[in-house]
Amino acid sequence: MALSVDYTTTALVAAVKRRGFIPRGTGTSDADILQYATDELDSYIPSLLKSIREEYLIAPLDIAVISATVPCPARAVGTALRTVEWLVSGFRPRQLGRIEPERQQNYALTGSEPLGYMLQGNNLILMPAVTSGTLRLTYQQRPGQLVSTTACAKVLNVSTNVLTVEAIPDDFEDSELFDIVSGQPNFVAEGMDLSVDDIDPTGLTITFTDALPSGILAGDYVSFAVETCIPQLPFELFGLLAQKTAHAIASATGSSREGAIYKKLESVEKEMKALLSPRVDGSARVIVNRLGAGARQWVW
């Protein structure tokens, strides 16, 4: 019988200990290791993936506009956006351009559709001040904070709005919001910020307020919103995350092996960059020259 692959934080912690030569009794607990790993997942990994420019972790979000001031997605890395588009039924999405504050007086008009947007703090300001319609934002989605598998519920069965799970953590309450993360690559959040009506520890069921998103399968995990027991990354990056975490711990604890761990980190990072880019080997990328109609360049 084929053995299943462990994609969870249990395997990640074991990998960090192995790569960092961390023996038992060193004072570095599994919870500490997960916090170190989360720190790297919040900063190092998104920065690396953004530098590759291959659209990793990019997610769309459609927003029903009710005000000209639209908050940036709460899970956007650096509160940064990849694209901003205006949706009109029956037409292709229209990309909106960024307007600098010193030019906003040129757009102080009324109209049924925005001509662009201005950034102000954590918000987009649509110009002109449209208050109805649909905006589509794409952004680099921040991976969930890493927690142990015991802090999550593994899905056994799925119905319309009810999940039967393997076990329900003691602190799960129906007043909380929950995420459902895929248990298989690429570990996407199949549902985010979901509310529940009932949690039954006896029947091992979680009843959600609304019908569940499609795509949820047995083997997925339910967790508190913005948490996960599976690193939400391409699987090939698990080793790099483990190595970077091992180095962070070695640096913080003054390990005599820090130099060796860092040398291995450099090697793994180089290998991952070569593996992750280009993302499509057999296709050239096209850059459109906006200064000349129809002009374009091929980039190999």
| Average pLDDT of the segment spanning 188-196 | 96
Q: What pLDDT score was predicted for residue 156?
A: 97
Measure the CA–CA gap between 207 and 160, rounded to whole angstroms.
Answer: 9
d(CA 290, CA 269) in angstroms, rounded, equals 35
Indicate whether 130 and 177 sit together in one domain: no
Domains held by the chain: number = 3
Same domain, residue pair 165 and 211: yes
Q: Are residue 80 and residue 23 in the same domain, yes or no?
A: no
Residue 111 near residue 128 (C-beta atoms within 8 A): yes
Q: Is the predicted pLDDT of residue 199 greater than 70, yes or no? A: yes
Domain region containing 123? 58-140
| Of 230, 254, 278, the domain-final residue | 230
Confidence at residue 284, expressed as pLDDT on a 0 to 100 scale: 62
Distance in angstroms (rounded) separating the CA atoms of residues 5 and 193: 28
For residue 154, how many other CB atoms are within 10 A of its CB? 17
Of the three residues 140, 159, 183, the one that is the final residue of a domain is: 140
Asked if residue 225 and residue 149 are part of one domain, the reply reads yes
Lowest average pLDDT, out of 74-88, 100-114, 227-241, 263-277, goes to: 100-114
255-282 pLDDT tens trace: 999 999 999 999 999 999 999 988 888 7
Q: Average pLDDT in the 8-36 region?
A: 92
At 294, is the pLDDT very low, low, confident or very high (cuts 50, 70, 90)? Answer: low
What confidence category does residue 25 fall into, taking pLDDT thresholds of 50, 70 and 90? low
Answer yes or no: pTM beyond 0.85. yes
pLDDT band at 291 (very low <50, low <70, confident <90, very high): low
Query: Which of residues 202, 230, 258 is at a domain's end?
Result: 230
* 211-243 tens-digit pLDDT: 999 999 999 999 999 999 999 999 999 999 999
Give the C-alpha separation, 232 to 220, whole Å. Answer: 12
d(C-alpha 157, C-alpha 145), whole Å: 25
CATH number at residue 155: 2.40.30
Q: Percent of the chain at pLDDT above 90?
A: 82
Instruction: Give the pLDDT score at 288.
Output: 60
Q: Is the domain of 164 the same as that of 118?
A: no
Tokens at residue 252, please?
């913080």
Say yes or no to pLDDT of 68 above 90: yes
- The pLDDT of 144-148, averaged and rounded, is 97
Whether residue 16 is found in the same domain as residue 36: yes
* One domain for residues 133 and 171: no
pLDDT at 1: 44
CA separation for the pair 300, 297 (Å, rounded):
10
Same domain membership, residue 241 and residue 300: yes
Q: Taking residues 24-30, what's their average pLDDT? A: 81
Report the relative pairing of strands 97-98 and 116-120 from DSSP bridges: parallel
Q: Is residue 142 pLDDT above 50, yes or no?
A: yes
- The mean predicted confidence, pLDDT, of the chain is 91
